[in-house]
Amino acid sequence: MILSSMRNVVFGYDEEPVIDRLSLDIEAGQFIGITGPNGAAKTTLLKLMLGLLRPWDGTVELNGELAADGKLNIGYVPQQIASFNTGFPSSVIELVRSGCYGRLGLFRRFTREQDELVERCLRQVEMWDYRNRRIGELSGGQKQRICIARALTQQPQVLVLDEPTTGMDAASRTGFYKLMRHYVNAHGRTVIMVTHGLEEAGAYLDSVISLERKEKEGWTCLVTNSCSAHFGPED
Ligand SMILES: Nc1ncnc2c1ncn2[C@@H]1O[C@H](COP(=O)(O)OP(=O)(O)OP(=O)(O)O)[C@@H](O)[C@H]1O
């Protein structure tokens, strides 16, 4: 099943486009990497896919609907979100519970179902045993897992992570990729991750979208495995 489909998408922030006539299909139920050097428009591509940016031209569809209509439930963990300082005044479980606030009723009480959901999300990222720790006491990798647990409380169909392993050591990065692989396999959900570390992450991914610069031709986009994409007008 195609989850996201971009056709002839053009987008820029100023006068020049940073994405120029990109067409791309993404399959549901996969662990997908987006890679490329700094400034290759990886984050921009993510935001277009999510409907957070509107293309100048072309179309972006999610689950067969225009992305800007916002019908798909997406968990988005932006870049550097896990950089809480050591004095961050919250415990792990409080932060993850705050992901449910939008769903609380008039009296803002947690139901047993919500408590169970929070526990499930913390277990999914293997952080349940840390639930009473202060956020500031955690390592970078642990903070990232907590941010993901918080996003999972929305039970998203798609989890989108922008450079989630920044600041993690090699063992934590591998542990993180395994965890996400298991999440995709066990729940049939889609995870899209911007990463610089393809040599490490590649073994865990189903598909890779590589944004690369070609001499004279500007940016180009290569997609390996089951995704397909190209720059340039549709045939
Ligand atoms: N809000 C903005 N306003 C103006 N230009 C922007 C904005 N955001 C990004 N850009 C420019 O668009 C281009 C693509 O940026 P983007 O952040 O998508 O790249 P990236 O591949 O995610 O980079 P990085 O790996 O450094 O995070 C860059 O040239 C960047 O300077």
**Rounded to two decimals, what is the model's pTM?**
0.82
235 in the same domain as 170: yes
Query: Would you say the CB of residue 39 lies under 6 angstroms from ligand 1?
Result: yes
What is the C-alpha to C-alpha distance for residues 155 and 124, in angstroms, rounded to an integer?
12
Q: Is residue 77 part of a domain?
A: no
Q: Is residue 67 part of a domain?
A: yes
Residue 194, domain extent: 1-72+157-235
What is the C-alpha to C-alpha distance for residues 26 and 190, in angstroms, rounded to an integer?
10
167 in the same domain as 223: yes
Last residue of a domain, one of 139, 156, 173: 156
Q: Which residues contact 105 (CB under 8 A, 6 or more apart)?
A: none
164 in the same domain as 66: yes
The answer to whether 189 and 29 have CB atoms below 8 angstroms apart is yes
150 in the same domain as 166: no
Residue corresponding to tokens 């499930």? 120
Query: Would you say the CB of residue 17 lies under 6 angstroms from ligand 1?
Result: no
Q: Is residue 95 part of a domain?
A: yes
Last residue of a domain, one of 156, 187, 213: 156
Counting from 1 in the atom list of ligand 1, the atom nearest the Cα of 41 is: 18
Higher-confidence residue of 216 and 197: namely 197
- Mean pLDDT is highest, among 10-24, 73-87, 103-117, 209-223, for 10-24
Specify the CATH number for the domain of residue 169. 3.40.50.300
Complex-level ipTM: 0.96
163 in the same domain as 143: no
Q: Output the CA 38–ligand 1 centroid distance in Å.
A: 8
Higher-confidence residue of 87 and 149: namely 149
Q: How many domains does the chain have?
A: 2
The answer to whether 184 and 38 have CB atoms below 8 angstroms apart is no
Looking at every residue in the chain, the average pLDDT score rounds to 81
